[in-house]
Amino acid sequence: MHKTSALTLLASTSLIPSTLAAYALVESYDPTNFFSKFHFWDKKDPTNGFVQYKPLRSAAESGLIAIDTKSGTVPAIYIGVDHSTKDPAGRASVRISSKKSYNYGLFIFDIEHSPGGICGTWPAFWMLSDGGKWPEGGEIDIFEGANDDRHNKMTLHTTPGCTIQKMSGFSGKVDTPNCDVNAQGQGKNMGCGIKHPMVKNQETFGQGMNKGGGGVWVTSWTSSQISVYHFHRSLVPADINAGKPDPTKWGMPVAKFSEGCAIDKYFKNLNIIFNIAFCGDWAGGAWTQSKACSAKAPTCQQYVQNNPQAFKDAYWMIRSVKVYQEDAGNQKQTQKMKMVGREIQN
């Protein structure tokens, strides 16, 4: 007969969660070092956007990037776009990718202002594998939308075999369940997506969100799940502000991808990316789906080319991006406690 002792319960429920909640800061991208820790993409946009991504020197000289010490309450990283010229080759912008790649962790994005909600734009911060042919190694879209969207969409892009099977345990709404970019019954390259609902009548994407001072997004990535949390500025947990993040205290995530996807098989060596695209496969392809946007011009490209002033507010203001990983000592202790629990049960 199987018996569970008090010591077993202690090992399995008391000690293990306390060790799992301990994370150590391994990287801080902030105003003191931000641009030195990213590569600048200056090639053709792989999503067919009407955009010219500028290298570091050109972006700095033209004012597309800067460290802002005056606008907000704390210094922040500014990443914007050209909003004064009509260039038939595409609007000048920035796409950057972290020099370091990661496997597992808590990725905390403190965003004061985002470029979202403007017709013609397609901004995102996301994570992408640094090797192989896309989508090998996986892609995690943490914050993304197009044109006048008001709801953030979180998406995974993979090769065949990864799906959303559990439709509970998160507050968002599943839009597409299959992460395979070539899945039948879904649009090409859509992946598995979860839309973020309104939070206390506050928008989760676009200018409405910016009016509240932005907020914090956290991606939790372990061997068994990928989850996304979002906190409006006034609701950021004290443990995050204190530099001691503890996901066990945050409640339900907005999105969670777990059952139906072998995380370690599909996601590895991911870089952090920020970009602001224009038109392209999504914003351009969905142009006529927005009455407000399509009323401005027949096509996305025509609007973006001829209305530079419309993109003055298409910029990121980033306070920091911090990467935490489970403390090595706690990892060993966790494994030890699991082994103790198994030995006691046997």
Q: How many residues does the structure list for the chain?
A: 346
- Closest residue by Cα to residue 284 from 309, 297, 301: 301
66-105 burial, b at 16+ Cβ within 10 Å, e below that, comes to bebeeeeeeebbbbbbbbeeeeeebbbbbbbbbebbbebb
Residue linked to tokens 């998160």 = 170
Point out the catalytic residue in the list 144, 203, 259, 343.
Answer: 144
Q: How many CB atoms lie within 10 A of CB 4?
A: 11
Q: CA 301 to CA 279: how far, in whole Å?
A: 6
The Cα-based distances of 120 to 12, 65, 114, 124, 252 in angstroms read 52, 20, 14, 13, 33
- Closest residue by Cα to residue 278 from 114, 134, 125, 81: 81
144 is catalytic: yes
136 is catalytic: no
Residue 48 CA to its chain's centroid (Å): 21
Cα separation of the two ends of the chain: 11
Residue 314 CA to its chain's centroid (Å): 17
Q: CA 162 to CA 150: how far, in whole Å?
A: 27
Point out the catalytic residue in the list 139, 203, 259, 326.
Answer: 139
One-letter amino acid at 247 equals P
Peptide bond preceding 135 in cis form (omega within 30 of 0):
yes
Q: What angle do CA 263, 269, 251 make, to 5 degrees?
A: 50
* Active-site residue set: 139, 144
